[in-house]
Structure 1
Amino acid sequence: MRVKEPDIIDLRWLLLGLCLVMALHLHHFAGWVALSIMVLIVWRYLLAHYRRPMPSIFILMPLTVLAGLGILLTYRGLFGRDASVELLALMLTLKLMEAKTRRDFLLLVFGGYFLTVTTFLFTQSMAYGAAMLLATFTLTATLVGISHPNGRLPWHFQAKTAAILLAQGAPIMLALFLLFPRVPGPLWGIPQDANKGMSGLSDTMEPGEISELTLSGEIAFRVQFEGKPPPPSQLYWRGPVLWHYDGRSWTMASPKLQLPTESLQVRGSPSRYTITMEPSNRSSMLLLDMPSLLPENSAVSADLQVLAKSPIRQRIRYQASSHLDYTLAPDAHPRALQLNLQIPDFDNPQSRALAQSWVDTGKSPEDIVQTALTMFREQEFIYTLRPPRLGKEPVDDFLFNTRRGFCEHYAGSFVYLMRAAGVPARVVTGYQGGELNPVGEYLIVRQSDAHAWAEVWLEGKGWVRVDPTGAVSPSRIEYGIETAMPNENPLPLLARNSYPLIKKMYLNLDAIDNAWNHWVLDYNQKRQMEFLSSLAGSKLSWQELAIAMIVAVGAVGMFLSYFIIRENPAKKDELQRIYATFLRKLQRKGIMRQPQEGPLDFGERASQALPSQAAQIHRITDLYTQMRYRNRKTTESTELLKWLIKTFK
């Protein structure tokens, strides 16, 4: 029996499915790739709609070569995450331009499935998970339509069948998710370019760098405190500590210096919390100043910066505690203090002269710190995300000319003044503040909360945090950047306080996304073993886990198979009962229908076995399939089918 070829309805389903799949990727595709895909899909639809001939091989072959060359020139190769995914998308779309047969459509559907899965290489958010489910559903409905032998199906029948198929697969998916051994670490052999595009703090700082990062409203990490969170003015999330200044950029101290770890004296009770940190492709683990209990699999530098053992390229979750009342390194190593007095020779003469004037008046280090803060507070300094570019003497240019800057301008120039005045000082970068989500009772810290402040070393007090930005814009420290810069708000529209209803919806969605991160994406090897051991009542070995997985998947499969293959005569509809009478008559003639046989296949075999009654068998079979699968059941057709079967001897 010949299987019907796809028609315009099948093509529309396929185009819809591929459009949904491509929509998952378009925002990270190169511009020309996204445009090419959209043009090809529209072109294919118009050809079918107006019944125009398909492009010949002499058109498609040059387009295919150009697509490959375009990827090669754009990414300097055909391998890597971005290049491979975009090449696959282009090849699928070009295949669409010659797709005519059922085999072509099947290839495109399964290619669409694979391209859907590659979305996880870019993002694993719940919103994208829902979009991927919609794309998978549409592709499955397409598969139902092109796999059916009896021509066009009602759209609701295709959709219902696709939903049933996905629902039947859900228990197996859940069993595999819970039981399949989790491999620690990232995907093996994942391309290096899969880590690009991750935003986060740099290990260096120069004017304009943090302000550029702050323009992003992306979430850096979320924090769940045990108890009430500290006030915003104490929420300093410690990141890279920058010692060396070359006249333009601040950088971290070299590990080759082998300085001793600074001592930490703490007072009071600690703040305990859990951080869910987004991937940054850097090693810095952000902790509340000052960390006293480190996360697992972490290390600490001499200046108490907490570092992961490898760059953070996937979402991680860790627990830590910090003391807000502390004394850091009151007995600092002389070499460390000397390094934190270093500035280039002969640069920024005006700033040097200003700092020297404070020293000449006999001011103590504490007084020099306060004098600098008073200067920022009382003179016409402006806190802005869009400062002008600085000249060859950046500190002089900022302090005496532009006086417009962001936190890195104030922190960098303050530390420079302190060093020029003989007060050891360094820059600390990280994040400051955070927004409390009342839905989940956790803090949201965004890239827009990126911040830089200073630490000065004072006799008997050790390293003391000083934030010169707070002198210029106190509201930045107390209420966040949205309040400090209402006209330069970097937050995404949904997260702004000026739209309370939208903001409430956004916070609810973020709470759901946070739960998704916790229960789904963070279901790692450790949590899997804890979960399964709690069910078993004892710790499981990997062998026991493998057995449990096989048993669970097998049990689910048998359960589903029972409902799929069983036949309950009591539940048969009228049409099934009528057709069953026909099957019994053929069975008495020695012709039994096989479980895998559809009505058309069985009718064809019965006609060959009973050539004298072939016409009658074909008529009964055709009428039954029209009524069953094309929704052409009427009272008249039902009576006709009964009569045909009754007269069949």
Structure 2
Amino acid sequence: MLEFLTRQSLSLILLSYALIMVLLTDQLHSVMIVFGILCALWRVAVFTGRVALLNKLMTNIFTLICSALVITLVYQQGMLSILVHLVVLGFSLKFLELKSVRDVHFFVNTGFVLVALFLVFNQSMLMAGIAMVSTLLLLTILLSLHGKALANYQQFKLLSKMVLLSVPLAVVLFIVLPRLPSMWKMPLQNKATTGLSDSVSPGSIAELSQSSELAFRASFDGKIPAAATRYWRVLTLDQFDGKTWTQSSQLKYQEEQVKIGKGPIFNRGSLQYQSASTRKQSVPAKENSYQIIIEPHYKHYLPSLDFTKATAGRILLSDYSLRTLKPVFKRQAFSIDQFNQVERSLLSPQSLKQFLQLPSGGNPKTKAWIATQQASGLDSYSILEQLLAKFNQENFRYTLQPALLGEQQIDDFLFSSQAGFCVHYASTYLYIARALNVPARMVTGYLGGELDSDSEFLSVRQYDAHAWVEIWKNQQWQRVDPTAYVAPERVEQGIMQGLDDQSEFLSGQYLSIHRWQANPFLNQLRNTFAKADYLWAVWVINYDNEKQFKLLQNLIKGVPWLNLSILILLLLLSAASSLILWVFKPWQSEKVSTEDRLFNKLYQKSTQQHLAREKGQTIADYCHALSQLKAAEPQLLIDFAKLYNQIKFKPSLSATQRKTLLAELAELQKKINRQFRKSLDFHKNRNGSE
């Protein structure tokens, strides 16, 4: 056990290390996570006296080996990732070799740096709260290290004061300091993140719909569209191999061009589409505007309603999908304008061929059904209407737990299982449309979104993921959602209401608060937290230079003599004053006890007798030396010293006894000072007569 650390301090250090390592798990390589666990186990063994600390030579060798290994593992993930791993490595190694107060200071300061790095990657209100807890824990370590004489409640009181004094300063600095861009490039994550994929097969979106993770929030300047019209487009899939829908080479090429910001097929601001598959057409007037606050997904996808245009920082693909110029690696806000339907022209032969592509062979029952419908004299679009009627009138079910399909997926679903999720219905409809020579494609994205209690914003979660179909009709793309004919409640009210068996909703997340929406208390709690998190995202995470300027302008309205420059100056002066007060702490000036104040009065008179108190000299010794001068009765000085020591160093005195003794001490001090005055006057008169 290290002597300079108490058991409480050691426990706080171990807890702080574990919490910070858990916070950074998503940003760390698996090897670093294992290394962190081993460090924690080794430190526990050292704390309990089972093993000794590593010597300096072993520590240095270990540091060099680990540094080289870390750089080798993560060098492709960018400079920031390397920085995070190296700081975590230093944090862990210092955790292993704590043997002095200086080591603890280094550990705590490195912990502060790691908490700040954690907030670079995680910016939700909940994560900020956890980061605050980590910061307070690190401060508590310092208090326990330097405030051993303080009781726990005194340490807590001091910590509370520090926080209360720091918060106003932090708020002022947050409001007035300019918003600077990041000084580094965020690394792209190699690991999979929750969200839509660029390939879809039956069941894939059903798995995604078991996640309650937030995808994005949206607020509208005008009227909020009805739930049944809120189709948030993300991806278009137009290639089918019999099991999986993917993007064709043309769409993949566009996506690749997005990543490097090139390509003449992209629209970066014009209201005209520039596509290899269509002729240029204009877009009608703006219909609505909305803002999206999207969660990080490390891709370029930007969900949008039909139809939109490209503006600064965005790219519009030829399939109406919107992309960002840079991957979304943090919570970001985007303003989007919605337009009326886009009038389109003719499909090029190449595009027509792609939108009719099907694998050769397979699904004989489906083809036979199509042939039967054609034999009855129905045209292609009428047969598609018959298919939707079949979905609606027969025993088709909407479920998140469909049976596995065989090699002939369309046949198995259409004539056997008749139970599936949105992809099953969209895939079947799309297959039959193409078999009827109707150009068609699948669109994946999100449907609906939950409106908050005050109707201010929508929360769209991963369980709102959806797939639908677009067919080429009357020289334009028209949306068809087969799911609406099976489970209209899914389209109008949400996924939970659309399921025949609502127990399937978030069945793998029993403790998720979103699973218990029927409980009034939990639902209110969920809505309250969502509202707070939304405001956090709007006013904290996305507080940019524009919002800063508007906020400061609003603050100076109604004060004619106050302009923006003066306001900023006043706020900065307030921040500086707070900092000065915190550093010098005038409210913490040393309090002088009554007995010391009485002695100081006596000492001020005694110095006129040309006898200064020596450094380290006790009150009793000084009074004894003073008595030798005969300037006052020696017994009075001896009595004063005895009474002073009794008051000062006898803790068992009651309040009444202390008050009585202080009165006696004050009386002695007055008598001694009067005698000092008489003695001084006597010597002055004698010197004057001489």
Q: Which residues of 2 match residues 157-236 of structure 1 at below 5 A?
A: 157-184=154-181, 188-193=184-189, 196-226=191-221, 228-236=223-231
1:301 aligned to which of 299, 302, 317: 317
Q: 1:10 to 1:283 in 2, by over 3 A?
A: closer
Q: Which residue of 1 aligns with 2:120?
A: 121
Q: CA deviation at 1:321?
A: 4.2
2:287 aligned to which of 270, 276, 283: 270
In structure 2, how many angstroms separate the alpha carbons of the residues matched to 1:121 and 1:564?
29
- Aligned partners of 1:261 and 1:303 also within 8 Å: no
Q: Which residue of 1 aligns with 2:257?
A: none
Q: Which residue of 1 aligns with 2:524?
A: 504
Q: Which residues of 2 match residues 410-559 of structure 1 at below 5 A?
A: 410-439=425-454, 441-459=456-474, 462-485=476-499, 486-490=502-506, 493-496=512-515, 497-532=517-552, 552-559=571-578
In structure 1, how many angstroms separate the alpha carbons of the residues matched to 2:435 and 2:197?
26
Q: 1:572 to 1:454 in 2, by over 3 A?
A: same
Q: Secondary structure at the match of 1:477?
A: helix
Q: CA deviation at 1:87?
A: 6.0
Q: Secondary structure at the match of 2:247?
A: strand
Q: Which shifted more, 468-477 or 503-512? A: 468-477
In structure 2, how many angstroms separate the alpha carbons of the residues matched to 1:367 and 1:291?
27
- TM-score normalised according to structure 2 size: 0.73
Q: Which shifted more, 482-491 or 258-267? A: 258-267
Q: Which shifted more, 394-403 or 274-283? A: 394-403
Q: Which residue of 2 aligns with 1:362?
A: 377
Q: Which residue of 2 aligns with 1:249?
A: 245
Q: Does 1:280 align with 2:297?
A: yes
In structure 2, how many angstroms separate the alpha carbons of the residues matched to 1:577 and 1:191?
66
Letter of the aligned partner of 2:297 in structure 1?
S
- Aligned partners of 1:262 and 1:304 also within 8 Å: no
User: Unaligned regions of 5+ residues in structure 1, if any?
Assistant: 538-543, 591-605, 618-623
In structure 2, how many angstroms separate the alpha carbons of the residues matched to 1:19 and 1:420?
58
In structure 2, how many angstroms separate the alpha carbons of the residues matched to 1:84 and 1:579?
57
Q: CA deviation at 1:495?
A: 1.3
Q: 1:245 to 1:130 in 2, by over 3 A?
A: same
CA deviation vs aligned residue, 1:34-81 (integer Å, no higher than 9, x gap): 676567547645754x66674443997898789779867976889766
Q: Which residues of 2 match residues 18-29 of structure 1 at below 5 A?
A: 18-25=17-24
Q: CA deviation at 1:523?
A: 0.7
Q: 1:265 to 1:209 in 2, by over 3 A?
A: same
CA deviation vs aligned residue, 1:359-411 (integer Å, no higher than 9, x gap): 34332233122112123334444433244554555434443455443212221
- Aligned partners of 2:237 and 2:245 also within 8 Å: no
Q: 1:380 to 1:297 in 2, by over 3 A?
A: same
In structure 1, how many angstroms separate the alpha carbons of the residues matched to 2:416 and 2:65?
53
Q: CA deviation at 1:352?
A: 3.8
Q: Percentage identity across aligned positions?
A: 27
Q: Secondary structure at the match of 2:217?
A: strand
Q: Secondary structure at the match of 1:156?
A: helix
Letter of the aligned partner of 1:205 in structure 2?
V
Letter of the aligned partner of 2:498 in structure 1?
A
Q: Which residue of 1 aligns with 2:593?
A: 575
In structure 2, how many angstroms separate the alpha carbons of the residues matched to 1:237 and 1:304?
11
Letter of the aligned partner of 2:212 in structure 1?
G
Q: CA deviation at 1:235?
A: 1.7
In structure 2, how many angstroms separate the alpha carbons of the residues matched to 1:417 and 1:90?
57
Q: Which residues of 2 match residues 27-176 of structure 1 at below 5 A?
A: 37=36, 41=40, 44=43, 48=47, 54-57=52-55, 85=84, 88-89=87-88, 91-147=90-146, 151-176=148-173
Q: Secondary structure at the match of 1:291?
A: coil
Q: Which shifted more, 126-135 or 379-388? A: 379-388
Q: Does 1:319 align with 2:335?
A: yes
CA deviation vs aligned residue, 1:461-489 (integer Å, no higher than 9, x gap): x3221111222322221221112231321
In structure 2, how many angstroms separate the alpha carbons of the residues matched to 1:29 and 1:222?
28
Q: Which residue of 2 aligns with 1:620?
A: none
How many residues align? The count is 602
- Aligned partners of 1:431 and 1:450 also within 8 Å: yes
In structure 2, how many angstroms separate the alpha carbons of the residues matched to 1:331 and 1:409?
30
Letter of the aligned partner of 1:561 in structure 2?
I
Q: CA deviation at 1:432?
A: 0.8
In structure 1, how many angstroms separate the alpha carbons of the residues matched to 2:494 and 2:587?
65
Q: CA deviation at 1:448?
A: 0.8
In structure 2, how many angstroms separate the alpha carbons of the residues matched to 1:584 and 1:258?
100
In structure 2, how many angstroms separate the alpha carbons of the residues matched to 1:171 and 1:549?
15
In structure 2, how many angstroms separate the alpha carbons of the residues matched to 1:576 and 1:262?
91
Letter of the aligned partner of 2:538 in structure 1?
H
Q: CA deviation at 1:515?
A: 0.5
Q: Does 1:408 align with 2:426?
A: no
Q: Which residue of 2 aligns with 1:603?
A: none
Q: 1:318 to 1:563 in 2, by over 3 A?
A: closer
Q: Which residue of 2 aligns with 1:258?
A: 276
In structure 1, how many angstroms separate the alpha carbons of the residues matched to 2:161 and 2:93?
31
In structure 2, how many angstroms separate the alpha carbons of the residues matched to 1:564 and 1:635?
37
In structure 2, how many angstroms separate the alpha carbons of the residues matched to 1:141 and 1:577?
35
- Aligned partners of 1:25 and 1:119 also within 8 Å: yes
In structure 2, how many angstroms separate the alpha carbons of the residues matched to 1:189 and 1:576?
63
